[in-house]
Each structure stands twice: as C-alpha cells, then as structure tokens.
Amino acid sequence: MPEKDYSHRDVTDKLGLKPGFVVRAVGRGNKELLERVREKVGRPLARSGKTPADAILYWPKSAAEITGTLIELKTAIVPNGGIWVIAPKRGLPGYINQDGVIPLGLAAGLVDNKVCSLSEKESAMRFVFRKSERK
C-alpha cells in the first residue's frame, strides 16, 4: 500500500485546529507556528487554564518532565481536546524519541492518537482522553 502524502496540508490543519478554538501554548514554542495558529483560530492564545482549551501545544524541555506536565495539563482541556507534545526531530538538539513518549502519556492517563510532522525540524504527537473516559 502506498504511503499517504500530507505534505500539502497546512500545519494548522494537521493539528486539527478550527476557527474559534481555544489554544494554549506551554513551553518555548515556535513563534512562526504560533502566529499561524492565532491566524487560524482567529483569537489570541489562552494564557492560563481558566478556560478549557480545545488544544494545548506543549514543548517539553526533556522527557523527564512530560508525564508530570501532562497530568497537570489534562485538567485544562475539554473532554474531546488534545495535548500536542512537540519536539525536535531525530538528529537535532533536544530530540525526544517518540516511542519513549507513548508510555509517558499512558502514565498520565492519556493515549496517543496522532503523530504529524510540523516542519523540517519538529514533529508532534497528540494525547487525548480515552473515549470511555470522556464526559
């Protein structure tokens, strides 16, 4: 079966963002990506967890912090929302092996359901609540 080509899709579409979404950024994010996100959703990024987010874009400093941060952030998303863990690709400084991130999400009570390439330098993995745990 041939591999699907998603390279023509806008990065905000890959992230599943829609106009009106509440999006929050955590960590040291890509400024160009964040500007595109603001344009797509048509509103400023959320600065706190007061309003539940449809999506959280999270740039961890290291793998060691991921589980604890996901536990904290999962209380700040809507039941069908997601947290994108964004990291440099293989061979770049700060690389975090995505296979190692999956159990970190499970330890936080979340499951991964999508991976995408954001740029030549970054990729992302989305974590969500299991369907059975959504209210």
pTM of the model as a whole: 0.91
pLDDT of residue 4: 65
Average pLDDT over every residue of 52-81: 96
pLDDT of residue 73: 97
Superfamily of domain 11-129: Vaccinia Virus protein VP39 (3.40.50.150)
Q: Is residue 62 within 8 Å of residue 28, measured between CB atoms?
A: no
Identity at 11, one-letter amino acid code: V
pLDDT of residue 6: 57
Question: What are the extents of the domains in the chain?
Answer: 11-129
Q: Is residue 127 within 8 Å of residue 82, measured between CB atoms?
A: yes
Taking only Cα atoms into account, the Rg of the chain, rounded to an integer number of angstroms, comes to 14
Q: At what angle do helices 66-73 and 98-107 cross, to 10 degrees?
A: 50
Residue 111 three-state SS: strand
Whether residue 5 is predicted with pLDDT greater than 70 in this model: the reply is no
pLDDT of residue 125: 97
Whether residue 83 is predicted with pLDDT greater than 80 in this model: the reply is yes
